[in-house]
A and B are shown apart, each in its own frame.
Chain A
Amino acid sequence: MEDITLKAQGIKTSFQTSEGKVVAVNDVDITIREGKILGVVGESGCGKTVTALSIMRLVPEPNGKIEEGRIEFMGKNLLELSSEEMRKLRGAEISMIFQEPMTALNPVFSIGYQMKEMLKLHRGMTDEQATERAIELIDMVGIPRAEKVIKEYPHQLSGGMRQRVMIAMALSCDPKFMIADEPTTALDVTIQAQVLELMKDLNEKMGTAIMFITHDLGVIAEMADDVVVMYAGKVVEESNAISLFHEPKHPYTMGLLRSRPDMLEEGEELQSIKGMVPSLLRMPEGCPFNPRCEHRMDICVKEMPQLIEVKPGHKTRCWLYDDKGGK
């Protein structure tokens, strides 16, 4: 049995909107192996970020609410912790970096202040110790002249630098687990590659398990050990990265793979998945992907398929692989 860092089961998170209740994440299981990178892929609005926020217990209140589920981490169920216990865990054992480095740092505090604050809080360091450690961390994420940078303010750094600072900050207390929510989406392509490399590197060096959220399968191919594909608040496919890329099972995953320009042969036409992600307020009956699916069967519009194991370690949620679906 491999060591599991975090195991989330049956997470259901809903939001109260002016048009009614919306279930953004519905019965999602996530397992992160120790020191590994789990990639979570899906289109915008599929519930990737809400899953991450649910794990952090940072779902915006009072409209958002984690209704059901269990998140096991370090022998505890995170959903049962008091908010104070959870706060002490955040930053220290679980940290998170976000999509927009331009707005994720507080503009009125220096980089050093924002980094030292965590070290003092979680590690009880003195100001000198924290300063020293902050410089070390800035240096570690590949920012030159670290002594100067800690005195600077976020607006004096470029987007790539800020994301590096965020990574340094997230890793400053040696957390066991880090969530990276599309950390490279807002960056230039060249910078993206550098930041990804840095994260991969730190993952190997420090052994921090990472849940890597992205909509870019290329990034997943490069980074992830395991992959979870999400669609409309549900996990539709789950496997290790190699198996997923070689033998995608779910029609949605296949569609995603076909719509990648860099996987095309010359002269081949770029495909896209027809239709749009359904609104969470108007979910279709049965499988949420059925209106866009090219293999749609009668049962798909009636009943939601179960997540079943089609081969060891490779699960998918599709009637094509279910006996009941007639195949």
Chain B
Amino acid sequence: MKKYLIRRILILIPILIGVSMIIFALIEAMPGDPYSDMIDPTVPPDLIEERLEAMGYFDPLPVRYVRWLGRTLRFDFGYSTNYGAPVSVIMLNRLPNTLILGGFALLFSTIVAIPLGIISSTRQYSVVDYIVTVFAFIGLSIPAFFFGLLMIRYLAFELGWFPIAGTGAGAGYEGVRMLLHRAHHLVLPVVVLSLLSLASLMRYTRSSMLEVIKQDYIRTARSKGIKEKVIIYRHALKNALIPVVTVLTMMLPSLVSGAVLTETVFSWPGMGTLMIDAIDNDDYPLLMGITMMLAIIIVFANLLADILYAWIDPRIKYD
């Protein structure tokens, strides 16, 4: 296992280099230059060209790639042309908001989805199963922005139970009061963001459990006189979790990338909205920073999935 881990981490290096090349090439292919949005059109083109020349814009592609990579390794993603601040600072400003929102959404959907999936699988075709299934299909088919707007319209606007938008960070409260205030702002975005992952996670748990419950070793457990609860929550669940772990780890990158739609609907200043801004404004350095960070997270989420498999399933050996 240790050997496998080391090998697996070493493989990450060429993967990340490859990814960085692709990102660099894609952004390179986008039209416009960093100044096309920044500078007054009356500035003479000669001057712009001179400035671009000075910052190495016309250097050959490999030279620019190596220069960018060298800086990136030092966590220097350059200077955002739109925000006028270092990319790393902007990202670090936005990341906590996204992590809070995404983290709670993931936690909430896992805590709700897995038990619901188990219940609906152990009582297949019962009333509970049908209710849960119908909600899951609603969750899978309703677009997040629409559901978000419904929530805002009824729960926030008409009933006034929750704030309409924002993170609640600027209220100037302190201590417990601040925590409560922010938690209050978090409820609706978390519910909206959880909806889709909750529904799909629940369906995965259900079908995986149904598959496992049919297995011979569950019958063996019954013939041993094991309590039904132990059979379901230990013998069956541990086997059923293997595919569920895949789905869970695949949700991790979106935790960091942010949810563009949910963040937009709730004016939540996270990574999702930041990325849209970067694209809109030809903010290459920022866009490259975000994309690169995403790539790293995805690669590590895969690694995490592999580690979790080996931990849950002793049959998986990586030597």
Residues in A lying within 8 Å of B, measured CB to CB: 56, 58, 87-92, 95-96, 98, 100, 103-110, 117-118, 121-122, 153, 155, 166, 169
Q: Which of B216, B227, B239 gathers the greatest number of chain A CB atoms within 10 Å?
A: B216
Q: Which residues of A contact B314 (CB under 8 A)?
A: 107-108, 110, 153, 155
Give Cα A105–Cα B216 distance, bound, in whole angstroms. Answer: 8
A-B contact count (CB 8 A): 70
Interface string of B232-248 (1 = CB under 8 A from A): 00010011000000000
Give Cα A117–Cα B225 distance, bound, in whole angstroms. Answer: 10
Closest 4 CB pairs of A and B: A91-B225, A90-B225, A103-B216, A91-B224
Query: B42 an interface residue at 8 Å Cβ cutoff?
Result: no
Closest Cβ neighbor of B223 among chain A residues? A96
Query: B219 an interface residue at 8 Å Cβ cutoff?
Result: yes
Query: B312 an interface residue at 8 Å Cβ cutoff?
Result: yes
The answer to whether A155 and B315 have CB atoms under 8 Å apart is: yes
Query: B217 an interface residue at 8 Å Cβ cutoff?
Result: yes
- Given A103-B215, A108-B238, A108-B239, A98–B220 Cβ distance below 8 Å? yes
Give Cα A121–Cα B231 distance, bound, in whole angstroms. Answer: 13
- Given A108-B239, A155-B314, A103–B217 Cβ distance below 8 Å? yes
Give Cα A122–Cα B220 distance, bound, in whole angstroms. Answer: 15
Query: B51 an interface residue at 8 Å Cβ cutoff?
Result: no
Interface of B is mostly: helix
Give Cα A169–Cα B228 distance, bound, in whole angstroms. Answer: 19
The answer to whether B217 and A105 have CB atoms under 8 Å apart is: yes
- Nearest Cβ in chain B — how far from A83, in angstroms? 8
- Nearest Cβ in chain A — how far from B70, in angstroms? 46
The answer to whether A117 and B313 have CB atoms under 8 Å apart is: no
The answer to whether A58 and B235 have CB atoms under 8 Å apart is: no
Closest Cβ neighbor of B241 among chain A residues? A108
The answer to whether A109 and B235 have CB atoms under 8 Å apart is: yes
- Nearest Cβ in chain B — how far from A78, in angstroms? 13
Q: Can you give 6 contacting A-B residue pairs, CB < 8 Å?
A: A56-B223, A58-B223, A90-B224, A100-B216, A121-B225, A155-B314
- Nearest Cβ in chain B — how far from A102, in angstroms? 9
The answer to whether A107 and B226 have CB atoms under 8 Å apart is: no
Query: B221 an interface residue at 8 Å Cβ cutoff?
Result: yes
Give Cα A166–Cα B239 distance, bound, in whole angstroms. Answer: 20
Query: B153 an interface residue at 8 Å Cβ cutoff?
Result: no
Q: Which residues of A contact B215 (CB under 8 A)?
A: 103
Q: Which B residues from 57 to 92 make CB contacts under 8 A with A? A: none
The answer to whether A92 and B225 have CB atoms under 8 Å apart is: yes
The answer to whether A105 and B225 have CB atoms under 8 Å apart is: no
The answer to whether A121 and B226 have CB atoms under 8 Å apart is: yes
The answer to whether B225 and A122 have CB atoms under 8 Å apart is: yes
Q: Which residues of A contact B222 (CB under 8 A)?
A: 58, 90
Q: Which residues of B contact A166 (CB under 8 A)?
A: 220
Q: Which residues of A contact B225 (CB under 8 A)?
A: 87-92, 118, 121-122
Q: A90-B223, A91-B225, A107-B239 known; 16 other A-B pairs, CB under 8 Å?
A: A56-B223, A58-B222, A87-B225, A87-B228, A95-B224, A98-B219, A98-B220, A103-B217, A105-B217, A107-B315, A108-B238, A118-B226, A121-B224, A121-B225, A121-B226, A169-B224
